[in-house]
A and B are shown apart, each in its own frame.
Chain A
Amino acid sequence: MATPPTRTATAETGRIRRRIVLAPSARRDSPLTQPERTDEELLALARQGEQDAFGDFVRRHTATVHRWMVRAVGTEDADDMAQEIFVKAYRGLERFRGDAPPRAWLAAIADNAVKNRYRSRSRFRRIFAGSTDADPEREPQAPGAGPEDEARSGESRRVVAEALKLLPPDFRMPVVLRDIEEWSYEEIAASLGVPIGTVKSRIARGRGQLREILTPLISGRLP
């Protein structure tokens, strides 16, 4: 059973830190998984053809990848993206050499999946002009009208949670990994395979755009 997340607020910045404390045996999404096997062991077994091992790995990380995708692409598409990420991971098992933690490997796959998704959508929009999909390349627009009403509604909460999907794809996974998963810059840079300065720049710019999107919604009206 997973320990519920604890939240602590730092006095200096007012920043709410979300710490997820999990017991070793609780780092699972399913009680069916074998607690004695690490992610690396599961992937090694999966590479040898044990589908059950990869099933355990999927069950262990489904909630995490889904959470990333809710932030990066929105709730509606999160399931499809999570499926796509795990399918790509399964197909790319041979390329996983254990140099980085499996979760970093998954994050890299997720980052590429998000970018590819919007690259293909951009091509689609160029071909079929008039598509009404949100264009992540455009400057973000503050969502909604009548912010006071919306801010207090569930829809407004969803918009806040999914504001990241209005950002350029390159910014999304770095911000998710930094501000939702609380990875260090070094971990993010190693996972995504980009220099740490690039990671810091993308995160700063993404945060700046988030502020532009969300300030109208949260200016003293969200709890």
Chain B
Amino acid sequence: MTDTLHPARSTEFLSSLYDAELPSADRAAFEAHRSACDECRAAADAFAATLAAFRASPTPPPAADLSARILRKIRAQSPSRRPFGVMFGIDVRWAGVVVAALLVVLISTPLVVRRKEAAVLPSSSIPATILDAPEQPAAPEPQARNSAKSEAARGAAALAPAPAQLSRDALPAANLAEAPHPQAASGAASADEARRRDAEPPRVAPGPPMVAATPAQLSVRASDGNGPAPAIVSQPPDTRLAGLRGLAFLVTVDARGRVTKVEPSATGGLASSGKSAPADRDPGAGHESILRELRFAAGDGERRLLVQVE
């Protein structure tokens, strides 16, 4: 509490006076009183002088190596701080990245292996195996061949864009004939190869020898009701007949034993399997030329025969 008679007896009053925080009226009143009161004047002066001396007294600077000593002590006494996410010496953020990478590897490895296995198998092996296995008539041969062909065609198309398009894109029109673009040439070659594969009879895959070694056999029955079918005098080589395995044809033979007409068997030719010449196996021109190489024994007149290739 401030002594109203001698306010300087209060340290709170002197402290406020020193800090210039007294209201101006109080301050003016004290200044008036101070000039007349020796005690208050001495107390205020002593207070100010004491604090002034205290504030002005020099403070020795720290030793030059104090910071270094502090840091050494921190390192010695404090466990090394670990940044956020570090537990047990492992930065879980990086651990998360590593785990994610491992998951990706684990998931993708079987896919890559499968793709590699598919790439290692020859592209013609699956269809060839199917095509060259006529002993398994229940196999979905036409569909397999169809899909194989369409895959091959897609692959050829992907590898070899249309030559004309490549030519337009890559070469001046004047140079097309003399200098086909390498890509166009390779594309054309790939397309030609695909077409050749389609035209040629399927090659025998390096599969089981019993399948490849079996020669194609012809079965001939009379379909005109004029007696037994004439005997075969000569026939195309097995390599050519192999392409017709599983098919049946109606063949017209003249009196000299020559094939004059070849038609796909409309009645299902192969009665045992119920198969007829599929459309994608071109029972027309290609097959007709093969079957026209057949020679039968001469007879009395024209005959109609059902020829099955097995």
In the assembled complex, which residues on chain B have CB atoms less than 8 Å from the CB atom of A160?
Answer: 53-54, 57
A207:B67 contact, CB within 8 angstroms? no
Indicate with 1 or 0, residue by residue over A71-103, a CB within 8 angstroms of chain B CB atoms.
100010011001100110011010000000000
CB distance from A27 to the nearest CB of B (A): 15
Complex: A163 Cα to B69 Cα, angstroms: 27
Q: Is the CB of A207 within 8 A of B20?
A: no
Interface residue tally for chain A (C-beta within 8 Å)? 55
B23 surroundings in chain A (CB, below 8 A): none
A173 to chain B, nearest CB (A): 15
Interface status of A46 (Cβ within 8 A of chain B): yes
Given A55-B71, A204-B12, CB of A82 within 8 Å of CB of B62: yes
Q: Which of B12, B46, B83, B84 contacts A219 (CB 8 A)?
A: B46
Q: Which residues of A contact B77 (CB under 8 A)?
A: 87
Q: Which residues of B contact A82 (CB under 8 A)?
A: 62, 66, 70
B115 sits at the interface (CB 8 A): no
Query: In the complex, are the beta carbons of B78 and A87 less than 8 A apart?
Result: yes
A58 touches B49 (CB 8 A): no
Evaluate contact between A90 and B74: CB separation under 8 angstroms: yes
14 more CB-based (< 8 A) A-B contacts, given A58-B70, A86-B73: A14-B52, A15-B18, A15-B55, A47-B81, A48-B83, A59-B67, A62-B66, A66-B62, A79-B63, A87-B74, A160-B54, A200-B16, A208-B14, A211-B51
Q: Which residues of B contact A7 (CB under 8 A)?
A: 56
Partner of A86, one of B56, B74, B81, B83: B74
Q: How far is the CA of A203 from the CA of B82 in the complex (A)?
A: 41
Interface membership of chain A positions 5-18, coded 1 if the CB is closer than 8 angstroms to chain B and 0 otherwise: 00100001111101
Contact string, A40-57, partner B, CB cutoff 8 A, digits 1/0? 000000111101001100
Q: Does A190 contact B (CB under 8 A)?
A: no
Contact with A along B257-269 (1 / 0, CB 8 A): 0000000000000
Q: Which residue from chain B places its CB closest to the CB of A9 in the assembled complex? A: B52
Of A13, A67, A82, A163, which is in contact with the most chain B CB atoms at under 10 Å from its CB?
A13
The answer to whether B67 touches A62, judged by C-beta atoms less than 8 angstroms apart, is: yes
Contacts of A207 in B (CB 8 A): 11, 14-15, 18, 47, 50-51
Counting CB contacts under 8 A, is A117 at the interface?
no
Which of the residues B12, B49, B82 comes within 8 Å of A49, measured between beta carbons? B82
Given A75-B60, A207-B18: A15 touches B66 (CB 8 Å cut-off): no
Residues of B within 8 A of A78 (CB): 62
Q: Which 4 A-B pairs have the closest CB atoms?
A: A208-B11, A49-B83, A204-B15, A66-B62
CB A198 to nearest CB in B, in angstroms, measures 12
Determine whether the beta carbon of A157 is less than 8 Å from that of B20.
Answer: no
Q: List 11 A-B contacts (CB under 8 A).
A: A49-B86, A66-B62, A66-B66, A82-B70, A86-B73, A179-B51, A179-B54, A179-B55, A200-B15, A207-B11, A207-B18
Which positions 15-49 of chain B face chain A at CB distance < 8 Å?
15-18, 20, 45-49
Any A CB within 8 A of the CB of B59:
yes
Residue numbers in B under 8 Å from A205 (CB-CB): 11
Q: Are A211's CB and B56's CB within 8 A? A: no
**Pairwise interchain contact A13-B11, C-beta atoms closer than 8 A:** no
Interfacial chain A residues near B62, Cβ < 8 Å: 62-63, 66, 78-79, 82
How far does the alpha carbon of A162 sit from the alpha carbon of B190 in the complex, in Å?
A: 98
Kindly identify which residue among B14, B45, B60, B71 contacts A70, using a CB–CB cutoff of 8 Å. Answer: B60
Whether the pair B47, A211 counts as a contact (CB closer than 8 A) is: yes
